[in-house]
């Protein structure tokens, strides 16, 4: 007998012949927040939650995204050469800092040579301060938002939803997804939270409204 057959057989013996009907799951928790995506109160909540976890939030108008990204990078990196920044392949041209490199599918570890990354997001969850990146050209592959030490994510107002159920409903379950809530952190020493371990130590969110 194969291990598969044996384990499945054990489960069937454990559960017995007469299996009871499985009741429907009552999903009477909050499925929506009641506010529409992009509601100003949701943008404030997202900002508050991101800042609580030591992310930086800068707000800008739709016409000023490129300028806001460039300013944020200068603040985080100081004077730097344009090639220190690498952006997701699908990032709109007007969001890109001048001279930034584009992730062209080079070996993932080569991304570690860059100081900062700029990506978009798929959806943002206000209540938990969570950005969801889905591996699309706008968000880039997973290593892109991981290896450079500074991550800049551009979030458009209409992408901001209230709670976790709304956020997960908007993404593709079989895409490579990364949920990011603040910079990399640890609570492993005396259960006190410290920001900055292996992932980006700086997270800047450019919130467009």
Partner 1 sequence: MTAVFLGIPTAPRGVGHLRGEESFPDAARGALRNGQLRANLGHATSTIRGKRAHVVGELTDWAQLREAGRAIKAATMARLDEHLIALEEQVTARGGTVHWARDANEANEIVTRLVRATGTTEVVKVKSMATQEIGLNEALEAAGIAAHETDLAELIVQLGDDKPSHILVPAIHKNRAEIREIFLRTMPGVDPGLSDDPRKLAMAARAHLRERFLRARVAISGANFAVAETGTLAVVESEGNGRMCLTLPQTLITVMGIEKVVPTWRDLEVYLQLLPRSSTGERMNPYTSLWAGVTPGDGPQEFHLVLLDNGRTAVLADEVGREALHCIRCSACLNVCPVYERTGGHAYGSVYPGPIGAVLSPQLTGVEDNASLPYASSLCGACYDVCPVAIDIPSILVHLRGEHVEAQTRTTPEAAAFRALSRAMSSPRLWRLAQRAAGLGRFLARGKPTMPNALPFPASTWTRSRDLPTPPAETFTQAWAREHGG
Residues that bind partner 1 (CB under 8 A): 2-4, 6-8, 10-16, 19-20, 22-23, 25-30, 49, 53, 105, 108-109, 112, 125, 127-130, 135, 141-143, 146, 164-165, 168-169, 173-194, 196-200
Distance (Å) of CA 47 to CA 41, 50, 148: 10, 5, 23
Q: Are 77 and 114 in contact (CB under 8 A)?
A: no
Query: Minimum distance from CB of 74 to partner 1 (Å)?
Result: 24
Task: Give the count of alpha carbons within 13 A of 32, CB side only.
Answer: 5
Query: Minimum distance from CB of 102 to partner 1 (Å)?
Result: 14
Task: Give the residue with the Cβ less far from partner 1, 27 or 78.
Answer: 27
Task: Give the residue with the Cβ less far from partner 1, 93 or 173.
Answer: 173
Sheet holding 202-208, edge to edge: 56-60, 202-208, 150-156, 116-120, 85-87, 101-102
Which SS3 state, helix, strand or coil, does residue 62 take?
Answer: helix
Task: Give the residue with the Cβ less far from partner 1, 66 or 163.
Answer: 163
Closest CA to 199 of 55, 73, 80, 81: 55
Query: Minimum distance from CB of 143 to partner 1 (Å)?
Result: 5
Task: Give the residue with the Cβ less far from partner 1, 38 or 196.
Answer: 196
> Any idea what the Cα angle at residue 60 is, between residues 209 and 69, rounded to 5°?
130
The two most distant CA atoms of the chain are separated, in Å, by 71
Task: Give the count of alpha carbons within 13 A of 118, CB side only.
Answer: 32
Task: Give the residue with the Cβ less far from partner 1, 54 or 71.
Answer: 54
Query: Minimum distance from CB of 128 to partner 1 (Å)?
Result: 4
Task: Give the residue with the Cβ less far from partner 1, 73 or 144.
Answer: 144
Query: Minimum distance from CB of 118 to partner 1 (Å)?
Result: 18
Query: Minimum distance from CB of 61 to partner 1 (Å)?
Result: 28
Q: How many Cβ atoms sit within 10 Å of the Cβ of residue 194? A: 13
- Which DSSP symbol is given to 19? P
């Amino acid at each position: 007998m194969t291990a598969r057959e044996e384990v499945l057989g054990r489960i069937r013996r454990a559960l017995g012949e007469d299996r009871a009907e499985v009741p429907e799951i009552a999903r009477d928790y909050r499925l929506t927040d009641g506010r529409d995506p992009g509601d100003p109160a949701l943008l404030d909540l997202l900002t508050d939650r991101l800042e609580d976890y030591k992310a930086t939030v800068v707000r800008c108008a739709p016409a000023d995204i490129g300028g806001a990204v460039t300013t944020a990078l200068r603040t985080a990196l100081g004077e730097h050469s344009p090639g220190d920044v690498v952006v997701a392949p699908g990032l709109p041209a007007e969001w890109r800092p001048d001279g930034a490199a584009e992730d062209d599918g080079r070996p993932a570890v080569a991304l570690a040579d860059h100081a900062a990354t700029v990506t978009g997001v798929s959806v943002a969850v206000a209540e938990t301060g969570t950005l969801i990146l889905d591996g699309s050209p706008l968000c880039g592959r997973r290593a892109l938002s991981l290896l450079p030490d500074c991550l800049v994510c551009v979030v458009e107002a209409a992408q901001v939803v209230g709670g976790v159920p709304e956020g997960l409903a908007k993404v593709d379950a079989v895409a490579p997804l990364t949920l990011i809530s603040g910079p990399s952190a640890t609570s492993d020493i005396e259960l006190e939270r410290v920001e900055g371990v292996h992932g980006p130590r700086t997270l800047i969110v450019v919130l467009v409204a």
